Amino acid sequence: MRRFLIAGFIIVLLLVTLIVGISVGFMVSGDGFGVGGERVAVLRIEDIILDSQIYIESISSIKKDKSIKAVVLRIDSPGGAVGPSQEIYSEVKLLREKLPVVASIGTVGASGGYYIACAAEKIVANPGAITGSIGVIAQFVNYEQLLSWAKLNVEVIKSGEFKDVGSPLRQMTESERKYFQELIDNVHSQFKLAVSEGRGIGSKQMDQIADGRIFTGEQAKNLKLVDELGSVSDAIRLAGTMSGIGKEPEVVYYPKSKSRFLDLLLSGAKTHALSGFPVKERFGLFYLVDIIR
C-alpha cells in the first residue's frame, strides 16, 4: 500500500512540475495566457530558411488576432532556399495590407533574410548587423575522380540532355553550366525586383549593389537598403507609433512555443544539424550568404 502511495505522489509531483515548467516557459517566451489590449506581434525568423510553413501559420494566426495592431519581423537569418523565402515574402506583403510591418535585423539578415525584410514598410538594423548579399547561389559536388580512383563505373539512362544536370557523378558540360546560369540569372532578377520595389531603388543602382556583397547595417542605411539604425526595441517602438498604440506597446511573440525550456534543450541538436548539414549541396537555388560556411 505504501508503495502505491509513493508512486502516486511521484506521478502527481511530475505532473505539477510539468505544468509549472510549461507556465514558466510561456512567461519567459512572452507568449502569456491572457488577452491584453492592443499589441505588437514580433515574428521571429531565425536560422537557415528551408521551410516556410511555421512562418505562414504564424502570419495566419496574427491576422486572426484582432488585438494585434502591428508586426515586427525579427530577422536573424543568413537566408535559405529560394522557394520558402519567396513564400514568406509574399505572405508578409499581404499582411502589410492589413497592418503596419517593420523589419528588425539583428545579427544577420542577409540574402533570403533580407529578401523577406523588403516586404516590410520599414527596415531597422543594428549598425554592425550583416545584411545585403543580394544574389543567388547553387553548389554541386563532383565525385567523378573518386569513382575513377575506386574503379567504379556508373551507367545513367535518361530521357533528355538535362535530366541529370548537376549530377555528382560527372563533370558538368558547358551547355549545362549555361543552363544553370540562366536559371540563376532569372531568380536573381526576381530578387533585384523585390528589393527595387520595396526600397524604391532604381535599376542602375541595383545593378551596382546586387552582386552578392554583404553590408553592415550602417553601410546599408547609406545605400537606402535600411531606413533606420537601432535595436529590436527601437523597431517595436516604431511599430507601436505607426499603429497608433504608442511607443511602449504590449508585445506578443511568434512562432508560439509551448516551452522556451524545451526550445533551449533542442537548440543544441538543431544547431549541430544545421552546421553539419551540407545545405547548399542539396539540389536547388539558394538566397544564402556564404559567410557562415
pLDDT in tens, 58-103: 999 999 999 999 999 999 999 999 999 999 999 999 999 999 999 9
Task: Report which residue type is found at 57.
Answer: E
Catalytic residue from among 163, 178, 256, 270: 163
Query: Cβ of 41: how many Cβ atoms within 10 Å?
Result: 27
Cα separation, 255 vs 258, whole angstroms: 10
Helix (H) or strand (E) holding 134: none
Residue 27, pLDDT score? 44
Cα separation, 42 vs 253, whole angstroms: 5
Residue 234, pLDDT score? 97
- The DSSP call for residue 270 is H
Per the annotation, the verdict on 178 as an active-site residue is: no
Question: 114-131 in b/e burial notation, b at 16+ Cβ within 10 A?
Answer: bbbbbbbbbbbbbeebbb
Residue 187, pLDDT score? 97
Cα separation, 58 vs 43, whole angstroms: 8
Per the annotation, the verdict on 111 as an active-site residue is: yes
Nearest to 235 by CA among 110, 105, 113: 105
Residue 11, pLDDT score? 63
Cα separation, 183 vs 289, whole angstroms: 18
Grouping H, G, I as helix, E, B as strand and the rest as coil, residue 48 is coil
Question: 14-28 in b/e burial notation, b at 16+ Cβ within 10 A?
Answer: eeeeeeeeeeebbee
Positions of the chain with pLDDT under 50: 20, 22-35, 259-281, 292-293
Residue 147, pLDDT score? 87
Identify whether the C-beta of residue 136 lies closer than 8 Å to the C-beta of residue 161.
no
> What domains lie within the chain, and their CATH numbers?
31-141+170-288 (3.90.226.10)
Residue 131, pLDDT score? 97
Catalytic residue from among 111, 133, 243, 259: 111
Alpha-carbon dihedral angle through residues 217, 220, 221, 227, given to the nearest 10 degrees: -80
Residue 280, pLDDT score? 43
Residue 276, pLDDT score? 43
Nearest to 113 by CA among 211, 68, 55, 47: 47
